[in-house]
Amino acid sequence: MADATVNAVTTQAKRARPAPRSRLRKFFERKSTIAFFMALPLILLIFTLVIYPAFYAIYLTTLNKRMTATAWMKNCTYLPDWICTYIPFGNLQFLLTRETFWMVFWQSCLFAISAVIFKALIGFVVSHFVHNVPSKGQRKWRGMLLVPWVIPAAMSTLAWQWLFDPSYSAFNWILAQFDIERVSWTGVAHWARFSVILVNVWIGAPFFMIMYLAALKSVPDQLYEAAEIDGANWWQRIWYVTLPMMRNIIAITALFSTIVTFANFDIVRILTAGGPLDRTHLFATWSFRLGIEGGDIPLGATVSLFMVPILAVAAAFILRDVTRRGNEA
């Protein structure tokens, strides 16, 4: 009888204890698993539209012009033949010998660096103006100043094309009213370069402005008050308070903008198509010219990927610096 009672108690105890959960169920209940599955559609999208095309582009760079065999390197100066002839970057080796390639490289650097500097300067100045506008009217100014950035770049570049038109330029019409000689905006190399940089600055400056404005708003007023009590003038307040507080935003904005500006396509394509005499080609437009219009897809892919390692290294340094400063804070 006692045995029977003990058995009954044990059975009841077993029933009362919750059943052990399976490992699979545990796995699915983990927060990280749920997060992964929720992000999965985006991961698949990025894989399909970014990662796969990127690796495919790398594969294309290793092919010969007819895309029937690998483009091995040959006659390397710095490597023995038994290594050189097994490196599949024959297209890159060929590009490095071309005068036009180095011109495009130089132009891309000029375009990206000068455009980013001007965008940053204009964004910085305008963000201070907007920051000082009374909060009642500030919204309207913010909205209006964002217009160039919000309009699709291709559309606004078409409007600029009309302003710079070789024969019917609206700017030239204005110059003519003051008896100033007409300017061949897109017909002479230096003016054409100026024109494409100007349009890029016009489109991109509002992005800097809005980022800097957000950074300015997060600077505590107490810091300025303390600086003022210490007798700091306008310039010292900017140099010792504003700039250090905005450093991270300035670095990240400049980095992203540099990457996007290096990869710019639409402005040059619409405004000058790379001319005159290839003097406004950037990597993207020259890649399109070689790969799609010229039918040499491997060479076009090589041009388009040339900047990836350089930009990746620059990005790594800047982001490392930003993280380090974040940790210090």
What residues make contact with another protein under the rule CB under 8 A?
65-66, 68, 94, 98-100, 166-168, 184-188, 192, 272-278, 289, 291-297
- Please tell me what DSSP assigns to residue 247: H
| SS3 of the chain: helix, strand, coil, percent, to 5 | 75, 0, 25
The whole-angstrom separation of Cα 126 and Cα 245 is 18
Q: What is the DSSP string of 280-324?
A: T--HHHHHHIIIIISS-HHHHHHHHHTTHHHHHHHHHHHHHHHHH
Which residue, 211 or 271, has its beta carbon nearer to another protein?
271
Of 194 and 224, the one with the shorter C-beta distance to another protein is: 194
* Smallest gap from residue 202 Cβ to another protein (A): 20
Nearer to another protein, 60 or 246 (CB): 60
Closest contact distance (angstroms) between CB of 112 and another protein is 22
Task: Report the residue number, 169 or 261, with the smaller CB distance to another protein.
Answer: 169
Q: Which two structure tokens, joined as six digits, stand for 68?
A: 């029937």
Residue 52 CB: number of other CB atoms within 10 A? 11
Least separation in angstroms between CB 296 and another protein: 8
> Between 102 and 239, whose beta carbon lies closer to another protein?
102
Minimum CB separation of residue 81 from another protein in Å reads 19
Which tokens sit at 9? Answer: 């108690």
Q: Which is nearer to another protein, 60 or 255 (CB)?
A: 60
Strand partners, 70: 63
Residue that the structure tokens 């290793």 belong to: 62
Q: Is 259 exposed, middle or buried (0-12, 13-18, 19+ CB in 10 A)?
A: middle
Tokens of 192: 């054409």
108 sits in which H/E element? helix 99-132
User: What is the nearest approach in angstroms of another protein to the Cβ of residue 87?
Assistant: 17
| Residue type (1 letter), 123 | G
Distance in Å, CB of 34 to another protein, minimum: 36
In the complex, least distance from residue 298 CB atom to another protein, rounded to whole angstroms = 11
Please, what is the minimum distance in Å from the beta carbon of residue 205 to another protein? 26
DSSP characters for 248-284? HHHHHHHHHHHHHHHT--HHHHHHTTT-STTTT--HH
- Compare residues 209 and 297 and give the one whose CB is closer to another protein: 297
Closest to another protein by CB, 192 vs 246, is 192
Residue whose tokens read 């708003």: 217
Question: What's the residue count for the chain?
Answer: 329
